[in-house]
Amino acid sequence: MELRKPGVTFIENNPSQVVLWVPEASSAGFVLMEDGQRIPMIPGEYGYWTLEHPLSPGDRYQFIINGEKTLPDPASLSQPEGVHGPSEVVDLTFDWTDTHWKNVPLADYIIYEVHTGTFTDEGTFAAMEEKLDYLVSLGITAIEMMPVAQFPGDRNWGYDGVFPYCVQHSYGGAKALQQLVDTCHSKGLAVILDVVYNHLGPEGNYLGEFAPYFTDKYHTPWGSAINFDDAWCDGVRKYYLENALMWFRDFHIDALRLDAVHAIKDLSPLHVLQEMRQQADALSIQTGRPYYLIAELDLNDTRFINPQEKGGFGLHTQWIDEFHHALRVSAGQERSSYYADFDGVVSLSKAYRDAYVFNGIYSEHRKKKFGMPTDNLGEQFIVFSQNHDQVGNRMLGERTSALVSYEMQKLMAGAVLVSPYLPMLFMGEEYGESNPFLYFVSHTDPELAEAVRQGRKNEFSAFHIEGEAPDPVAEKTFVDSRLQWGLIQKEPHQTMLRYYRRLIDIRKRQAALHMLNRKDSTVECLENQRTIILLRQHKMQDVVCLLNFSKEPQHVHVNLYAAVWHKLIASSDEQWGGAVDFPDTIAEEITLELAPESITIYTNDL
């Protein structure tokens, strides 16, 4: 019988199939917790042990290795008693209603990043479903969920997950996630899931008890690397490749955001990311749906996103933090630590033009030349003004709304949404959420909890920040990070929300903004005025975006003729809480005095 995936799988008209990879064991057994029954497993090739046995959803079990250690399933689908408890049998069969769903084209993705636990007061998938109509009305086409793999306790960003196949129990578990995805598809929303294939969390991490899942050949910021190319790596690769396929196949996830792929170390002739793309494409042929792979990447290296026929790994798109850094410095962020490399509107103009700010030029922060040039398509880059990392890794978790003026918030939103790249919003930014998004965990080991506290303190030393960060283990830190949905009924939040809706609608409706051909964009940087003139073009349409990051009015002239220029939006207009109404039409050439901290957009063709 073909080994579909590790763990427990229900086979139609057959007993359940149990698969465990434990290559260096002399014996392996399956333990049913209800009666303590121990069932020997059968050894097979390459260290796989199998068992066929009638099981039912809800049965709880563990594995026993060499007659001694009793451990939860490394491919567990449910951990109702937490990361140290027994595993629970789950049947992933689901009554899907999304038969006609074909995924949103990648170029049409307008992404909204959410953390399940703090998105609503309930912190569940079911509660998230109730907010989907709101996201649709905002204009979002894809939600990106921070990791949901089972982690210790009930509070965590998700990057301390230790059961990659298991959906966090406190969020609602596997069935609730399937229901959420099905509902998203019924409303036209694609679903991106953030997955972590470069490390596991420190508490409840039992993988090393079963097999050489880790290697000392490489090291990452989290310790030993996942073993993708050392001895016994075939079983490790299968474990993670099958995990990716499970999300696509059994949960109907549309795209995976792969956390920190630069920390996935693999010198195999076929990189594990290449193999993941190949297997995703094979599944796509079977289902008729495209599946996307998104890289979080701290390297300006096009190998990750270049097609495989050109020697690349074939990932579809990547986050580019450099756009964020350049935008933050343009908006007044202090140039310390990694922000020191960025020169405000000069760097932002380069990001609009070249995607990578550092494309082979010298980086003072890194003390070396960094990056490489790219001619990749606009849809291969994802940009944002804030995200979970850039907010939560601040000591006090301040969102943009706490750091810049109301006018600058509108400008930063516009800067992202007029870019020739895929835009991403972080939950709550669209109405100016004022609560922080702090770093939080719920480790039960006191020594580990203290280590996390100390680690946070050391991290902020690079920014020369004084004071103490909120206790990441305290429940209050988590509660303080929840969205305040009542704000959308109050000013100025209500106006900010209307403004975001209008911006997103403009991006969707105006072909010159919607089409992501970077070659049809030109950028002029007025460094002394801290102003950028971004021209987006498609066929006969021109869209002129005027971004003034200074605190003073700035006079600009656009040397581009049109019989009539029509205003699409001006963030300084009174209807958006500003003080200056710009003309709805301008004849021939655009000459304006831009309001401080504003974005103004005109087109020659509505």
Q: What residues form the annotated binding site for substrate? A: 257-262, 321-325, 388-393
Under a CB-based contact definition with an 8 Å cutoff, are residues 394 and 438 in contact? no
6: helix, strand or coil: coil
Work out the burial of residue 42: count CB atoms within 10 Å of its CB; fewer than 13 is exposed, 13-18 middle, 19 or more buried: exposed
CA angle, corner 74, sides to 69 and 209, nearest 5? 40
Structure tokens belonging to residue 213: 């899942």
In angstroms, the Cα distances linking 594 to 401, 463, 499, 513, 600 are 22, 34, 18, 21, 8
β-strands 255-258, 292-296 pairing: parallel
* Sheet containing 48-53: order of strands: 7-9, 16-21, 48-53, 42-43
Report the distance separating Cα 124 and Cα 85, nearest Å. 21
Query: In the annotation, is 309 catalytic?
Result: no
| Residue labelled with tokens 């910021």 | 221
Report the distance separating Cα 360 and Cα 271, nearest Å. 24
Pick from 43, 31, 36: which is nearest to 87 by CA? 31
Which residue positions form the known binding site? 257-262, 321-325, 388-393
Report the distance separating Cα 4 and Cα 246, nearest Å. 10
User: How many other C-beta atoms can be found within 10 angstroms of the C-beta atom of residue 491?
Assistant: 9
Name the DSSP letter for residue 22: -
β-strands 149-150, 163-167 pairing: antiparallel
| Residue labelled with tokens 């008890």 | 209
Position 10, amino acid: F
Torsion angle in degrees (nearest 10) through CA of 179, 180, 184, 190: -110
| Residue labelled with tokens 């988590």 | 478
Pick from 391, 416, 426: which is nearest to 504 by CA? 416
- Choice among 113, 296, 341, 407 that is catalytic: 296
- Choice among 59, 113, 160, 259 that is catalytic: 259
Report the distance separating Cα 377 and Cα 95, nearest Å. 38
Report the distance separating Cα 366 and Cα 354, nearest Å. 20
Query: In the annotation, is 81 catalytic?
Result: no
DSSP string, 71-136: E--TT-S--TT-TTS-EE----------TT-----GGG--EEEE-HHHHSSS-SHHHHHTTHHHHH
Report the distance separating Cα 398 and Cα 117, nearest Å. 18
Report the distance separating Cα 261 and Cα 403, nearest Å. 30
Catalytic residues: 259, 296
